[in-house]
Structure 1
Amino acid sequence: MAALDKAQGDSDTVADDFTDPLEMRPGYQLKRAAAAAMSDLNERLAVLDLRQVDASVMLMIDAIPNVIASHIGRVLDIKSANMVPLLRRLEERRLIEKVPLDGKSHGLHLTAEGDVLLVEARAILDQFEIDLMERIPFQHREHLAPALRAIWHSVD
């Protein structure tokens, strides 16, 4: 038994002394930070039975009258195959509705229920943004958004 305890102790020591070889890589840091932030946001939105992508789509629909699904997909980088079930889910919850624009296109609108839920979602999103920025040292806050945009737009 002592040998087992010793072996267990050794593995704990190894785990405690472990250094993440990727920790200093900016791409890895960005991935970990984004995953942590999105996990936090999704937990907060779960009280409304929404995910971050649902809230993003609803914000786009609210901001652009008669927006079509393909435009939302392009802006939010959502594949067409993923847009269909996403929009269906929002329609089934009576949060959005399709309105015919011409012979083949449909514009999207929030329903009254969608408007009400979006007010609640915006409050959660606003508080999330405040809390997120508070995690960042003050002297780095003004540089964060421009740095992220520079990375994001250089890939497009």
Structure 2
Amino acid sequence: MGELGNLLEPENLRVTEAAVLVMIQGRSDLTASQIGKALDIQRANMVPLLNRLESAGLIRRQPIDGKSQAVVLSAEGEAKMTVVGALIQQFEQGLLERVPPEHRDHLLPALNAIWK
């Protein structure tokens, strides 16, 4: 993850922050608790992480019901995701290029099987 971190550094983002942005992109129903659980981030760490993203103008909170709030991308967050998405794609392409060509067709299905 160090390489991805280096790519994200000029965007003033950490890998974990980028993971949150990727997760909430296109969603309006995820709470901080759900995000933390999915990304295995302890509750005590979620508060400062989300505060940093909110202070940077990348996320906002939006009511879901009477007591829950969703974490959603702001307009600035959507714009940032254009750049972040390209950087992640560049990182993933670099990883794939390290795999010998004869193994590439088998690698992604195998990784996807493990991930599920």
The question of a shared fold, defined as TM-score above 0.5 by the shorter chain, is answered with: yes
Q: 1:98-137 maps to which residues of 2 (within 5 A)?
A: 98-137=61-100
How many angstroms apart in 2 are the aligned matches of 1:67 and 1:111?
14
Aligned Cα root-mean-square deviation (Å):
1.6
Cα drift, residue 66 of structure 1? 2.8
Cα drift, residue 140 of structure 1? 1.9
Structure 1: gaps (5+ residues)? 1-37
Cα drift, residue 69 of structure 1? 1.2
Partner SS for 1:63: coil
Structure 2: gaps (5+ residues)? none
How many angstroms apart in 2 are the aligned matches of 1:137 and 1:70?
40
Cα drift, residue 149 of structure 1? 4.3
Q: 1:89-104 maps to which residues of 2 (within 5 A)?
A: 89-104=52-67
Letter in 2 for 1:111: S
Residue of structure 2 in register with 1:142 after alignment? 105
Partner SS for 2:25: helix
Q: Which has the higher contact order (CA 8 A, sep 6+)?
A: 2
Higher alpha-carbon Rg: 1
Letter in 2 for 1:136: V
Cα drift, residue 151 of structure 1? 4.5
% same residue: 47
Residue of structure 1 in register with 2:12 after alignment? 49
Partner SS for 1:45: helix
How many angstroms apart in 2 are the aligned matches of 1:116 and 1:147?
33
Q: Deviations over 1:109-138 (max 9, x none)?
A: 111111111111001111111111001111
Over 6 Å off, 4+ runs: none
Q: Which has the higher helix share?
A: 1
Q: Deviations over 1:47-73 (max 9, x none)?
A: 101111111101111132231112212
TM-score (structure 1 length as normaliser): 0.67
Cα drift, residue 150 of structure 1? 4.6
Letter in 2 for 1:102: D
Residue of structure 2 in register with 1:61 after alignment? 24
